[in-house]
Amino acid sequence: MFEAAIVGAPPERFETLEQALEYIADTPVCENKVRPWIRNVTRSHGQLEFLIIAGRAKKHRESRP
């Protein structure tokens, strides 16, 4: 289960990541820097909670240079 939000709307729930991606597709970042996002609601231990922020996949902190 995934939750996604776009600017000006409350989060919506989706069964698949693909559905959530389609929901936030082409949503711009707002002037006050509010961004669309996707969150994994039913994650297992070790998985990231927030998968997508502003339409791009979020990198693991450990993998940053």
Res 16: pLDDT: 93
- Is the pLDDT at 2 greater than 60, yes or no? yes
> Mind listing the pLDDT tens digit for each residue in 6-55?
887 899 999 998 999 888 888 766 666 667 888 888 877 766 676 666 65
Closest CA to 11 of 52, 39, 31, 30: 39
Res 63: pLDDT: 45
> What does each C-alpha distance from 61 to 4, 20, 58 come to in angstroms?
22, 23, 9
Res 56: pLDDT: 52
- Is the pLDDT at 64 greater than 80, yes or no? no
- Is the pLDDT at 1 greater than 70, yes or no? yes
What does the domain layout of the chain look like in residue ranges? 2-63
